Amino acid sequence: MNTSMLEAPARRRRRRHSADFKASVIRECLRPGVSIVSVALANGLNATMLRKWVVEAERGERPGALPTPTPPPSTQATGTPGFVALQLAPPPLATPTDIRIELQRTGTTIKVTRPGDVAAACAAWLRELLR
């Protein structure tokens, strides 16, 4: 076979994306609940490259890529309530539960009930019993 007649495959060229396209894709990534991978797949981009764009935009290295935050409207001017902090009651203290042990051996059953606050002593007693 003569290989001198074969043509070399064409080199892939780097794609160039406009600043507007990059900014819109970055804004899409910053929406709540949207993954960078899904945005990359939907736009035919590499997810790692898109993540790099997002990080650069967050650092301010890519001007105009992030939307400028708009200040929240004043609650006094609109009359609608904003965030309201509530005081919550502390949770009730947990009461110790009883420890119940039931041992059965050769037709004999022994039931032991101890308060939960003496669990360490109960464990030591049980270790001694089972030796």
Please check the confidence at residue 37 and state whether its pLDDT lies above 90. Answer: yes
Cα–Cα distances (Å) from 108 to 26, 90, 105, in that order, read 73, 46, 5
Please, what sign has the CA dihedral across residues 35, 36, 40, 46?
Answer: negative
Mean pLDDT of 26-33: 89
Please check the confidence at residue 22 and state whether its pLDDT lies above 60. Answer: yes
> Which residues 6+ apart lie within 8 Å of 97 measured at CB?
116
> Which residues 6+ apart lie within 8 Å of 61 measured at CB?
none
| pTM of the model as a whole | 0.42
At 69 the three-state DSSP class reads coil
The residue ranges of every structural domain in the chain are 17-69, 99-130
Q: Yes or no: say if 99 and 117 are a contact pair by the CB < 8 Å rule.
A: no
What confidence category does residue 58 fall into, taking pLDDT thresholds of 50, 70 and 90?
confident
Partners of 103 in the β-ladder: 110
Q: For the chain, how many helices (H) and strands (E)?
A: 5, 2
More confident residue, 63 or 61: 61
